Amino acid sequence: MCAIAGAFLGLSAPGLDQGFIAWFGVAPLFAFIFSARSTKTACLRAFVFGACYNMVYLHWFLTLDPAWAWFSPKFTALTATFWWLFASFHQGTIFGVFAIIARKIPLKINSIRSDALPTLFALPLLWVLLFNKLGNHPIFVGIPWSMLEYSQYQNIELLQIAKYIGGIGIGATIVMCNTALFLVFVTLMRRTTTVVDGNGILKMAPYPSNRECIASVAVVTMLLAVIFTYGHNAVLNPAEAEEKPVVISILQGNLAGTIHGASSADVVTRYVKMSERAPLGICLWTEWVLPISLNENKAILDLLLTLSKSQNQDWLIGALEREGKKTYNVVCGLTSAGRAVEPTYRKRYLVPFGEFIPQWLADYGVQGLIATSSPNRCNLQPGTAANVIKLNRGSAGVAICLEVVSPELVNDSVRDGADIITDLSNTTWFHSPNVGQQLIAFSVMRAAETSRSVSFSTTTGPSAIIAPSGRILGRTKPHQEEVLSRSTSRRTDITPFVRWFR
């Protein structure tokens, strides 16, 4: 039952787009946890629920391209299955830890102490602390990819509250709704007995009273009414803000050297020709579109500068950068005046095992086995600063690939002066378009949180341009060469969420 319930909740993932399930799909987890006769059983149940949720959410792992397989393409299925299970079990472990803590802390649902915490507020707080912050911290090789809030990326009214509480607040609201449903369930199923373990410690208090249940439902109902009323009014009557128009063009080349066997010259030629079809404005190339170090290839850099100037366009190009023995995944800014912007943006949030190997594993010589995703299979180094790229037509806060999943990094860029947000990605690792769709969902949330337009550009698509409200202005079809251009706005106002969330 835990496996089925977790997999069902996984259907709320972006790309599968059954977001309504998130509003009630977590409630069974709470029932599994608090009905267990021991903490060990509760932990196991939560692990199975969380692992199956992520196995559905992260199903695109199984569409790994053979170019990224271990040893040879014939090991593609083995490689894909390993990483799919690794990521799912990693997240399942966080669910297990959640169950242990939820059972141990004094809640009104599991304790008769007079100072027991109100379940309605304690469970959402514990959830976001574990899933959004602690459990998925990079030190634990975690990535906050499968967060509940992203299931709501198409709910434009709900997204308007993100400028105040962020995606993390929307996630807490979803969990609070599920908690209220759980309290309704246990009230209807009230029993007179309690469960006591072998040490005589009370594990399940009598179920809450009708009064507590009604109060919980009333609180959640009023909260949702306020949120959706505000969102509805904000969509109909958007607040005035200082805006300057800018045209963004995404160049989705659908060509990469690793999986298509194309040379760097072929890739550059295609993107230059695509830029000629784009209007004046800012053109986004993609991550690793040039898998070479531009600071070591001055002739290529000079050629690109000449072209960007002749076409009167600002370009953002994904490349590499070497400094001594260190290699960085970077985005370079080239202006319509033929100037290379310094410094470049160096990716700060690297993909564990894909772009770098944790030092504690590198010491055991496994780097040659699993560091297969970055160009030349090198062990990349993280950047340390937001480095907003100031182009002639706007100041771009840059993210690279999965960095758009981090509100902390995007907020840093906005506080440093970014008036637009861009994400350059390379999703050629996987054939499924759902990985790109989920990255678009992350981009939508970052737009709503920061009140900035966010442009997500990836090699094989889908790519998208998103308005500051979180509304998707346009998107490309996957696995097609396409130029997507939209006029959007540059904004300088700072939202409350950007101010407080770091």
Whether 378 has a pLDDT exceeding 80, the answer reads no
DSSP characters for 226-276?
HHHHHHHHHHHSPPP--EEEEEEEEEE----HHHH---HHHHHHHHHHHHH
Whether 129 has a pLDDT exceeding 50, the answer reads yes
For 339, the token pair is 């100037």
Q: CB of 442 within 8 A of CB of 407? A: no
Higher pLDDT, 426 or 140: 426
Q: Supply the pLDDT for residue 260.
A: 75
3-class DSSP state of 117: strand
| Core vs surface per residue 169-200: b (16+ CB within 10 A) or e | bbbbbbbbbbbbbbbbebbeeeeeeebeeeee
Beta pairing partners, 251? 483
Beta pairing partners, 484? 250
Say which range, 136-140, 316-320, 329-333, has the weakest mean pLDDT. 136-140
Q: In whole angstroms, what is the distance from residue 93 CA to residue 84 CA?
A: 14
Average pLDDT over residues 108-127: 85
Q: Given the DSSP bridges, would you call strands 394-400 and 389-391 parallel, antiparallel or unpaired? A: antiparallel
Q: Supply the pLDDT for residue 193.
A: 41
Q: Is the sign of the CA dihedral 174, 177, 181, 186 positive or negative?
A: positive
Average pLDDT over residues 370-387: 73
Answer whether the bond into residue 462 is a cis peptide, omega within 30°.
yes
Say which range, 37-41, 43-47, 125-129, has the weakest mean pLDDT. 37-41
Helix or strand (DSSP H, E) at 456 = strand 454-458
Beta pairing partners, 283? 249, 315
The average confidence (pLDDT) of the chain is 89
| 209 confidence band (pLDDT: 50, 70, 90) | low
User: What percent of the chain has pLDDT above 90?
Assistant: 69
Q: Is the sign of the CA dihedral 261, 267, 270, 274 positive or negative?
A: positive
Whether 201 has a pLDDT exceeding 60, the answer reads no
* H-type alpha helices, 363-480: 367-370, 407-415, 434-450
Q: CB of 414 within 8 A of CB of 173? A: no
Which of 253, 482, 406 is CA-nearest to residue 398? 406
Q: In whole angstroms, what is the distance from residue 483 CA to residue 448 CA?
A: 24
For residue 367, count other CB atoms closer than 10 A to its CB: 17
Whether 498 has a pLDDT exceeding 50, the answer reads yes
Whether 239 has a pLDDT exceeding 80, the answer reads no
Which of 352, 335, 463 is CA-nearest to residue 395? 335
Question: What pLDDT, in 10s, does the model give residues 145-175?
Answer: 999 999 999 999 999 999 999 999 999 999 9
Q: CB of 58 within 8 A of CB of 84? A: yes
Higher pLDDT, 397 or 238: 397
For 438, counting Cβ atoms within 10 Å of its Cβ (0-12 exposed, 13-18 middle, 19+ buried), the class is: buried
Whether 406 has a pLDDT exceeding 90, the answer reads yes
Whether 362 has a pLDDT exceeding 60, the answer reads no
Average pLDDT over residues 326-343: 94
| 200 confidence band (pLDDT: 50, 70, 90) | very low
Q: Supply the pLDDT for residue 372.
A: 45
Left (φ > 0), alpha (ψ -120 to 50) or beta: where does 333 sit?
beta
Q: In whole angstroms, what is the distance from residue 378 CA to residue 368 CA?
A: 9
